[in-house]
A and B are shown apart, each in its own frame.
Chain A
Amino acid sequence: MKNLTRKEELIMLAILNLKKEAYLISIADHLSKITGMKMSLTSVHLPLNRLEKNGMISGKLGEATAVRGGRRKKIYDITRAGFAMLDEHKRISDLLWKNYPTFLAPGE
């Protein structure tokens, strides 16, 4: 995998934030809350699947809960390759963001 898309990056970071509670719905909720935009399940599910296929994250079935009709959650975690990828992204981003002025309010 060459690079992460913006969405993939967000999802991976959300997984990090959610620690052991990262599954499809919680990720979508978390992102919705932070970005303030409604994230549909589908729009999360597809990149999530792609990430898993590329080995950035790994999913494993967690414990069952009654609210889900007794079905288990698939809890995601960042893999070693995933961390490496995130590191790389952060490095590039930091380099590029370095000279950006924090507040540049127009008309001030």
Chain B
Amino acid sequence: MAGQEHPIKILEILLKHIIPFCDHEHLLGDFEEMYTRIARDRGNTMALFWYIFQILKLFPSYFKNYCAWSLNMLKNYMKIALRNLKKYKAYSLINITGLAIGMACCILIIQYVQDELSYDLYHEKADRIYRLVDALDMSGPTSRYLALSSAPFAPALKNEFPEVEDAVRFFLGRRRMVTYGENKYYEEGIIFADASLFRIFTFPLIEGDPETALEAPHTIVISERVALKYFGNENPMNKIMKINNDDYLITGILRDIPRNSHFLADIFASMKTLEQIPTVQERFFQNWARHEFYTYLLLKEGYSASGLQSKLPEFIEKHAAQQIKTILGSTLSSTLQPLNSIHLRSHLQHEIGPNGDIKYVTIFSVIAVFILLIACINFMNLATARSINRSKEVSLRKVVGANRHQIIRQFMGESFIYTFFALFFAFLFVRLALPLFNSLTGKEIGVQDLGNVIFLGAVVFILFFVGLLSGSYPAFILSQHQPANVLKGTANIKSGRSLLRKGLVVLQFGISIFLIIATGTVLNQLDFLRNRKLGFDKDHVVVVTIRENAIRKNSEAIKADLKQNPHILNAAITIGVPGGVVAGDAIQMVTEEGKKTVTVRMIYADHDYIKTMGMEIVKGRDFSREMSTDENEAFIINEAAIRGLGLENPLGTQVEWGDKKGTIIGVVKDFQFQSLKNEITPLFIQIWPVNTFVFAIRISPDNIPDTLAYIEKKWKELDPAHPFEFSFMDESFDRLYKNEEKLGQIFSTFSFLAIFIACLGLFGLALFMAEQRTKEIGIRKILGASVGRIFVLLAKEFVYLVLIANVVAWPLAYFLMRGWLQNFAYRVNMESWIYILSAVIAFVIAFITISFQALKAALADPVKSLRYE
């Protein structure tokens, strides 16, 4: 029994807290002794009951003694807090506005972060789903990292490895015309998928059998959205829909895929549709080197991805390596990528859709904390600065028996009251700012999203964080007052710790300046990206997608026809314009040492491509119709290819690409065919009209609407079956920087908010200082000080602080922004004018803020200020 004869620790602690006397010790000892005795005489259970009974007996008196009194005091605290809030309206307004804006930012950003982190989590088996991604030539100038894999992987992996429970392949149908009866639209989200799709991903079917829906060729499952769009009230099940020119049977209706998915699809068509076409079967489904498929694997429970990962090299060696070596001339290594990490952490070539970036999630979160911090500092500064006003109250409370804990509790409580008010306004702001925020981040967060548990938990956390952080320091300072001195009037009260307050102001402005510099750098880099010499003329090129084979075949005649219009300067057909699609393939170069296989980027086009794009030939010549061999035997390379492939004298070099043998006839000046984030890599341009997808038409800058109308009219004649659609090349090129543009806007918005809140605080402090020094200023004026001198006296202190803040913020901003710029292959230098400008902005704003108060104080009539009491 020994060792058990002590009361349970938790109960003891409880007892200790509710015994209503200060001297717990001997009473607790007595209780324990009795417990031991009862335990010995009548057993532990009885002792335990006795002990609990004793505690219960104590409760009534505990409530009477403690809570009732606390409640009374609480009422008093509330009253005082609200009185203060009303009495010092300016301070309260500054505090609450600042906190509310800070909290609103935080709330919005929590929403954003929560949304970003929720991607793909709705799949029930999300933690077991992996995507197979490929890297070609892991190192070296020709290495490529693809989100894609080839078709034979999925079935082979499933057959060979017991840990692979299931596998599914996606093939993107891209943009196709979908027809049902009279309804005819282009649809973006068409994906060909294996029947195993519904066994792996959680896409509930409203109608249809998920097991068999995509088994047969030419079957499709459509989303509710599409069903509504094409069928209205009709039941689409077992109806026939046309995609391009093929008929498909609808075998299922899918609930719309949630927005927080790394891929979106409206129509899933069966993979069998493609597999049964003999040529496709051979070209795609038996070829380990065609990277055209997204492969997702579902691992069996209890198996780790790393286990499978380690077996992949052997698998690749066995099945794929040989074919890839011969066809692509490169080595392959595959990686398993967890589904959950795709949206934020995967930035491979040919991603299935635009992904987010964990970096932006981090940046957002940090900014949210920064802004909240600035608002909290406002509160702390103003509260400590005003502590002198409250010192008499605190002292009196102490005289009538309040202890320090109670004072601390009172002021913490006050900060919570402010925080509550602020939270209320914060929600109001969030409600108002939601549309703006959604357009800024491209999300669709609604008011209804503000109701979920995690989010409310986060809000409660913010409430406590802000309440405690902003309340703790003032409470600590205020509770320190020595009542005897204060009430006698001999106390030499400094209002709080002014050094610390200054430090906090420096911190606030440091953060603000940092955000201004960040904004400046981001905008500067964006500007640079937009205006950099791209190597081609991106303006005034109309891009129309080719949807009829006849157009491809008759392109020469169509071009001639188009050029009848004097505003149409040139036209070409190509696989894609810069910023759009660029192919990649292996070619063989015939050198003295023999044949060398390399993988390069490739553009298929026609004779007029280089002229239409406004590119510049630096060596050799452009494609020419006079040279009949150009059509089948000529390649033009870019300058990067000379460097990357080590071709000292490129002209005339023999090149083999599949069956095609040819020579390099020219070198085009490097042009940016991808985002400026990527460096320009070796590129081959050749004439191959069969594999072109867009018509690029250069028009003159005059009278664009008429020219467009002309093109549309011509196009309708050529292709009456499809609605006419076009885009401008510069638009699609600018879209590559959408992320950065968003970042720029976000930085500008938040740095504005940050500096606004910081200025609110500064304004409050200046107001307070001027008030405190009313008498001093009065006396100075009587003794002959000029308005200017007094102004300088008041303003100088804050101006110093802002200057110091610059010194703190600069190095930090320098290192962080340099890190960000490293993301870009082509980037601006960190320019000093941004730093100076940010300093000037912060300085001017702070100065204006202060001057208002300083001037008011300096101009005040000394007679009035000295009659103060």
A residues apposed to B, CB below 8 Å: 23-25, 41-42, 45, 61, 67-69, 71-74
Mark the stretch among B20-28, B398-406, B703-711 that contacts chain A. B20-28
B29 proximity list for chain A (CB < 8 A): 68-69, 71-73
In the bound complex, what is the Cα–Cα distance between A39 and B789 (angstroms)?
Answer: 82
In the bound complex, what is the Cα–Cα distance between A34 and B567 (angstroms)?
Answer: 123
Q: Are A69 and B32 in contact (CB under 8 A)?
A: yes
B25 proximity list for chain A (CB < 8 A): 61, 71-72
Q: Does B290 contact A (CB under 8 A)?
A: no
Instruction: Give the most central of A42, A67, A72: most B CB within 10 Å.
Output: A67
Q: Are B6 and A24 in contact (CB under 8 A)?
A: no
Q: Are A61 and B26 in contact (CB under 8 A)?
A: yes
Q: Does B34 contact A (CB under 8 A)?
A: yes
A45 proximity list for chain B (CB < 8 A): 27
Q: Are B36 and A72 in contact (CB under 8 A)?
A: no
In the bound complex, what is the Cα–Cα distance between A63 and B23 (angstroms)?
Answer: 15
Q: Are A23 and B32 in contact (CB under 8 A)?
A: no
The minimal Cβ–Cβ distance linking B60 to chain A, given in whole angstroms, is 13
Instruction: Tell me the nearest residue of chain A to B25, going by C-beta.
Output: A71
In the bound complex, what is the Cα–Cα distance between A61 and B33 (angstroms)?
Answer: 16
Instruction: Tell me the nearest residue of chain B to A42, going by C-beta.
Output: B57
B27 proximity list for chain A (CB < 8 A): 24, 45
A41 proximity list for chain B (CB < 8 A): 30, 34
Instruction: Tell me the nearest residue of chain A to B57, going by C-beta.
Output: A42
Q: Are A72 and B26 in contact (CB under 8 A)?
A: yes
B28 proximity list for chain A (CB < 8 A): 69, 71
Q: 14 pairs across A/B with beta carbons < 8 Å?
A: A24-B30, A25-B34, A41-B30, A41-B34, A42-B57, A61-B25, A61-B26, A67-B32, A67-B36, A68-B30, A68-B32, A69-B29, A69-B32, A71-B25
**With A42-B57, A61-B25, A71-B25 as contacts: A25 and B30 at CB distance below 8 Å:** yes
In the bound complex, what is the Cα–Cα distance between A24 and B27 (angstroms)?
Answer: 8
Q: Which of B32, B34, B36, B57 contacts A71 (CB 8 A)?
A: B32
B6 proximity list for chain A (CB < 8 A): 69
Q: Which of A67, A68, A74 contacts B23 (CB 8 A)?
A: A74
A72 proximity list for chain B (CB < 8 A): 25-26, 29
**With A23-B26, A61-B25, A74-B26 as contacts: A67 and B57 at CB distance below 8 Å:** no
B residues apposed to A, CB below 8 Å: 6, 23, 25-30, 32-34, 36, 57
In the bound complex, what is the Cα–Cα distance between A41 and B51 (angstroms)?
Answer: 12
Instruction: Tell me the nearest residue of chain B to A75, going by C-beta.
Output: B26
Instruction: Give the most central of B6, B28, B33: most A CB within 10 Å.
Output: B33
In the bound complex, what is the Cα–Cα distance between A73 and B27 (angstroms)?
Answer: 8
A73 proximity list for chain B (CB < 8 A): 26, 29-30
Q: Is the interface of B mostly helix, strand, loop or mixed?
A: helix
**With A69-B6, A72-B25, A74-B23 as contacts: A23 and B57 at CB distance below 8 Å:** no
In the bound complex, what is the Cα–Cα distance between A67 and B33 (angstroms)?
Answer: 6
B36 proximity list for chain A (CB < 8 A): 67
B57 proximity list for chain A (CB < 8 A): 42
In the bound complex, what is the Cα–Cα distance between A73 and B29 (angstroms)?
Answer: 7
In the bound complex, what is the Cα–Cα distance between A94 and B6 (angstroms)?
Answer: 47
Instruction: Tell me the nearest residue of chain A to B6, going by C-beta.
Output: A69
Instruction: Tell me the nearest residue of chain B to A64, going by C-beta.
Output: B29
A67-B36, A71-B26, A71-B29 given; 16 more Cβ-contact pairs under 8 Å: A24-B30, A25-B33, A25-B34, A41-B30, A42-B57, A45-B27, A67-B32, A67-B33, A68-B32, A69-B6, A69-B28, A69-B29, A71-B28, A72-B26, A74-B23, A74-B26
Instruction: Tell me the nearest residue of chain A to B58, going by C-beta.
Output: A42
Instruction: Tell me the nearest residue of chain A to B32, going by C-beta.
Output: A69
Instruction: Tell me the nearest residue of chain A to B7, going by C-beta.
Output: A69
The minimal Cβ–Cβ distance linking A66 to chain B, given in whole angstroms, is 10
A25 proximity list for chain B (CB < 8 A): 30, 33-34
The minimal Cβ–Cβ distance linking B327 to chain A, given in whole angstroms, is 81
The minimal Cβ–Cβ distance linking B523 to chain A, given in whole angstroms, is 68
Instruction: Give the most central of B6, B23, B29, B57: most A CB within 10 Å.
Output: B29
In the bound complex, what is the Cα–Cα distance between A61 and B32 (angstroms)?
Answer: 16
In the bound complex, what is the Cα–Cα distance between A68 and B6 (angstroms)?
Answer: 9
In the bound complex, what is the Cα–Cα distance between A60 and B26 (angstroms)?
Answer: 10
A71 proximity list for chain B (CB < 8 A): 25-26, 28-29, 32
B33 proximity list for chain A (CB < 8 A): 25, 67-68
In the bound complex, what is the Cα–Cα distance between A101 and B33 (angstroms)?
Answer: 43
Instruction: Tell me the nearest residue of chain A to B33, going by C-beta.
Output: A68
B34 proximity list for chain A (CB < 8 A): 25, 41
In the bound complex, what is the Cα–Cα distance between A67 and B32 (angstroms)?
Answer: 8
In the bound complex, what is the Cα–Cα distance between A67 and B27 (angstroms)?
Answer: 14
In the bound complex, what is the Cα–Cα distance between A72 and B32 (angstroms)?
Answer: 11
The minimal Cβ–Cβ distance linking A7 to chain B, given in whole angstroms, is 18
The minimal Cβ–Cβ distance linking A81 to chain B, given in whole angstroms, is 21
The minimal Cβ–Cβ distance linking B293 to chain A, given in whole angstroms, is 71
In the bound complex, what is the Cα–Cα distance between A8 and B744 (angstroms)?
Answer: 82
In the bound complex, what is the Cα–Cα distance between A56 and B36 (angstroms)?
Answer: 31
Instruction: Tell me the nearest residue of chain B to A29, going by C-beta.
Output: B37
In the bound complex, what is the Cα–Cα distance between A24 and B6 (angstroms)?
Answer: 19
The minimal Cβ–Cβ distance linking B853 to chain A, given in whole angstroms, is 57
Instruction: Tell me the nearest residue of chain A to B30, going by C-beta.
Output: A24
In the bound complex, what is the Cα–Cα distance between A67 and B6 (angstroms)?
Answer: 9
Instruction: Tell me the nearest residue of chain A to B31, going by C-beta.
Output: A41
In the bound complex, what is the Cα–Cα distance between A23 and B34 (angstroms)?
Answer: 13
A23 proximity list for chain B (CB < 8 A): 26, 30
In the bound complex, what is the Cα–Cα distance between A15 and B289 (angstroms)?
Answer: 100
In the bound complex, what is the Cα–Cα distance between A8 and B524 (angstroms)?
Answer: 89
Instruction: Tell me the nearest residue of chain A to B23, going by C-beta.
Output: A74
In the bound complex, what is the Cα–Cα distance between A61 and B243 (angstroms)?
Answer: 94
In the bound complex, what is the Cα–Cα distance between A24 and B57 (angstroms)?
Answer: 18
The minimal Cβ–Cβ distance linking B20 to chain A, given in whole angstroms, is 11
The minimal Cβ–Cβ distance linking A25 to chain B, given in whole angstroms, is 6
Q: What are the 9 tightest A-B residue pairs by CB atom distance, in nearest-first order? A: A71-B29, A74-B26, A68-B29, A69-B32, A24-B30, A68-B33, A71-B25, A68-B32, A25-B30
Instruction: Give the most central of A41, A45, A61, A69: most B CB within 10 Å.
Output: A69
The minimal Cβ–Cβ distance linking B29 to chain A, given in whole angstroms, is 3
A67 proximity list for chain B (CB < 8 A): 32-33, 36
The minimal Cβ–Cβ distance linking A99 to chain B, given in whole angstroms, is 42
The minimal Cβ–Cβ distance linking B8 to chain A, given in whole angstroms, is 12
In the bound complex, what is the Cα–Cα distance between A74 and B26 (angstroms)?
Answer: 6
A68 proximity list for chain B (CB < 8 A): 29-30, 32-33
Instruction: Tell me the nearest residue of chain A to B24, going by C-beta.
Output: A71
The minimal Cβ–Cβ distance linking A105 to chain B, given in whole angstroms, is 38
B26 proximity list for chain A (CB < 8 A): 23-24, 61, 71-74
B30 proximity list for chain A (CB < 8 A): 23-25, 41, 68, 73
The minimal Cβ–Cβ distance linking A46 to chain B, given in whole angstroms, is 11
The minimal Cβ–Cβ distance linking A30 to chain B, given in whole angstroms, is 14
In the bound complex, what is the Cα–Cα distance between A21 and B28 (angstroms)?
Answer: 18
In the bound complex, what is the Cα–Cα distance between A69 and B57 (angstroms)?
Answer: 22
In the bound complex, what is the Cα–Cα distance between A24 and B26 (angstroms)?
Answer: 9
Instruction: Give the most central of B26, B28, B32, B36: most A CB within 10 Å.
Output: B26
In the bound complex, what is the Cα–Cα distance between A103 and B33 (angstroms)?
Answer: 42
B32 proximity list for chain A (CB < 8 A): 67-69, 71
The minimal Cβ–Cβ distance linking A65 to chain B, given in whole angstroms, is 8
The minimal Cβ–Cβ distance linking A45 to chain B, given in whole angstroms, is 8
The minimal Cβ–Cβ distance linking A57 to chain B, given in whole angstroms, is 14
The minimal Cβ–Cβ distance linking A38 to chain B, given in whole angstroms, is 13
Instruction: Tell me the nearest residue of chain A to B29, going by C-beta.
Output: A71
In the bound complex, what is the Cα–Cα distance between A69 and B28 (angstroms)?
Answer: 9
The minimal Cβ–Cβ distance linking B841 to chain A, given in whole angstroms, is 65
A74 proximity list for chain B (CB < 8 A): 23, 26
In the bound complex, what is the Cα–Cα distance between A69 and B32 (angstroms)?
Answer: 7
In the bound complex, what is the Cα–Cα distance between A73 and B25 (angstroms)?
Answer: 8
The minimal Cβ–Cβ distance linking A21 to chain B, given in whole angstroms, is 13
Instruction: Tell me the nearest residue of chain A to B37, going by C-beta.
Output: A25
In the bound complex, what is the Cα–Cα distance between A53 and B33 (angstroms)?
Answer: 24
In the bound complex, what is the Cα–Cα distance between A25 and B26 (angstroms)?
Answer: 11
The minimal Cβ–Cβ distance linking A24 to chain B, given in whole angstroms, is 5
Instruction: Tell me the nearest residue of chain B to A74, going by C-beta.
Output: B26
Instruction: Tell me the nearest residue of chain B to A44, going by C-beta.
Output: B30
